[in-house]
Homo-oligomer: A and B are copies of this chain.
Amino acid sequence: MTDAIKTKKSDDLIGWYNNVLIESGMMDFSAVKGFPVYRPYGYEIWERIVEYLNKRFRELGVKNAYFPLLIPESILSKESQHIKGFTPEVAWVTKGGDRDLDERLAIRPTSETIMYDSYSKWIKSYRDLPMLINQWNTVVRWETKETRLLLRGREVLWQEGHCVFETAKEADANAIAMTKIYRDVMEKILAVPVFYGMKSEAEKFPGAEKTYTVETATPNNFMIQSATSHNLGQNFSKAFEIKFIDRQNNWQYVYQTSWGISMRSIAAMVMVHGDDNGLVLPPAVAPIQVVIIPIVKDDKKKEKILVYALEIKKKLDAMGIRAHLDDRDDQSPGWKFHQYDLLGVPIRLDIGEREEGSRTVSAKLRFDGSKDTFEEKNLIEIADKLGDIQSQMFENARLSASKKVEEISDKAEFIRKLKKDEKIVKAAWCGREECEGKIKEETGAISRCIPLDNEKMISEKCVYCGEHAIYNAYFSHTY
């Protein structure tokens, strides 16, 4: 454990988590409760998520745009379920300069309403469809519960995609396709395994017909929702009069989806991979992939060592590896080792007299502490090693996640294990809102995810109420 990280991960997960985010310089609190600061080291991780998703979105023909920050109350209120869901947590602008506004304006808690007001003007014909638009922005939701960095805040960094289709089938296919892209960014980029599937009636998005979700198991057997994708059906198109002339020359209401991933994806990554020494970053998102530390014991050898270290750095740069040479004189190698462990840099290269003499580098891998040596002439192997680390981190996390889940059909055991967070529980369930309410009341846990595939049912009866079960579902606490 470094000096900076005062809490052990296994003792107090949230205490450790806050400690790591702050001390690594990823995040900070600001003067406004629930509004975090994304410092450069944290924001760069988000930028790599953005880069990957922009590429995937573009391949589907989705284009970026930007819509207003503020939404008039009259427009926010047009879809009845939606406004009911969001009213308690809207931040209202009531004054512009010295003047009271005629109508108060909501800071967007999400942009369905303000975007669909425009869509209703733009869409006239099936020729205008599909319309596939995304925006990267922040939304504000006035959380009354305790806020937590990246997990629950009043200002949330995310993207929201809003697509429009001719048919119900296309809309549902799009909502599912986006869930799979979210699964990919979690698993391939953040090396975080996910459970994905549908939300229950009680947990779906206000105004949606179906909500699909991507969830991650935390070390303490909670599940975190990183991304959701909604099949909105015609709920909003009817409220906003988004109609088109179809191929048979009839007016029809469009079918819509909306989907988003937030900075919670990063929270999941930190929790799954970090350890008592700090962050452990997957190479795909690490701002620094390889750090080079010169070890000078004899000052007469200093110049030779530094020249060699710089050569290594340049070779890594040329391979497209994000390498950093820390040649500061005023910090000891030992201090630097701790510092880059805290920052979660995947590979550390130590370069001293011996390495310079033998034209090698001594490597230490952050994720498993293993050591290795590379020859200067085979430095390209470091690129392969970064790929290996990425795969291995994912595999380790997948194994660990699978052990967290237990299939349970006994009610008493279901309740006991959920109450104590002993396991994430998978069980046969009736899916009724009333039953979910009672489970929540008794255990504090809720349904997180209903797998999409046709799985073998664990039981014919709901684990909790004994009524007819219609699918399996995962249950856990959540942040």
Whether the Cβ atoms of B97 and A95 lie closer than 8 Å is no
Q: Which of B30, B63, B144, B154 contacts A44 (CB 8 A)?
A: B63
Whether the Cβ atoms of B70 and A32 lie closer than 8 Å is yes
What is the total number of copies of this protein in its complex? 2
**Chain B residues with CB below 8 A from A185, complex form:** none
Does A408 belong to the interface (CB within 8 Å)? no
Does A424 belong to the interface (CB within 8 Å)? no
Given contacts A47-B64, A68-B35, A93-B91, contact A133 B30 (CB under 8 A): no
Whether the Cβ atoms of A142 and B97 lie closer than 8 Å is yes
Does A149 belong to the interface (CB within 8 Å)? no
Interface string of A33-67 (1 = CB under 8 A from B): 00111111001101100000000000000011111
**Chain B residues with CB below 8 A from A155, complex form:** 68-70
Given contacts A65-B40, A69-B155, A72-B31, contact A94 B97 (CB under 8 A): no
Q: Which of B44, B66, B92 contacts A93 (CB 8 A)?
A: B92
**Chain B residues with CB below 8 A from A91, complex form:** 70, 93, 95-96
Query: Which stretch, A82-90, A278-286, A357-365, A452-460, touches the partner chain B?
Result: A82-90
Cα A46 to Cα B96 with chains together (Å): 27
Does A75 belong to the interface (CB within 8 Å)? yes
Whether the Cβ atoms of B66 and A157 lie closer than 8 Å is yes
Chain A: residues with Cβ within 8 Å of the partner, total of: 55
Closest to A40 in B: B63
Q: Which of B64, B72, B122 contacts A32 (CB 8 A)?
A: B72
Does A19 belong to the interface (CB within 8 Å)? no
Does A208 belong to the interface (CB within 8 Å)? no
Given contacts A43-B66, A70-B35, A133-B40, contact A95 B92 (CB under 8 A): yes
How distant is A144 from chain B, measured CB to nearest CB, in Å?
7
Closest to A46 in B: B66
Q: Which of B43, B88, B114, B127 contacts A30 (CB 8 A)?
A: B114
User: In residues 89-124 of chain A, which contact B (Cβ within 8 Å)?
Assistant: 89-98, 104-105, 107, 114, 117-118, 121-122
Cα A67 to Cα B142 with chains together (Å): 17
**Chain B residues with CB below 8 A from A32, complex form:** 68, 70-72, 105, 114
Does A400 belong to the interface (CB within 8 Å)? no
Whether the Cβ atoms of B144 and A97 lie closer than 8 Å is yes
Given contacts A32-B71, A69-B35, A71-B32, contact A94 B94 (CB under 8 A): yes
Does A227 belong to the interface (CB within 8 Å)? no
Does A138 belong to the interface (CB within 8 Å)? yes
User: In residues 226-260 of chain A, which contact B (Cβ within 8 Å)?
Assistant: none
Does A330 belong to the interface (CB within 8 Å)? yes
How distant is A44 from chain B, measured CB to nearest CB, in Å?
7
**Chain B residues with CB below 8 A from A142, complex form:** 96-97
Interface pairs (28), CB distance under 8 Å: A28-B121, A28-B122, A30-B67, A30-B68, A30-B114, A30-B117, A31-B71, A31-B117, A32-B70, A32-B72, A32-B105, A37-B68, A38-B67, A43-B63, A43-B66, A46-B66, A68-B155, A69-B140, A70-B91, A87-B97, A89-B97, A90-B96, A91-B96, A92-B94, A92-B95, A93-B94, A96-B142, A97-B144
A interface residue numbers (CB < 8 A to B) = 28, 30-32, 35-40, 43-44, 46-47, 63-72, 75, 87-98, 104-105, 107, 114, 117-118, 121-122, 127, 133, 138, 140, 142, 144, 154-155, 157, 330
Q: 6 new A-B pairs (CB below 8 Å) besides A32-B70, A46-B66?
A: A30-B117, A30-B118, A43-B64, A89-B96, A90-B97, A92-B93
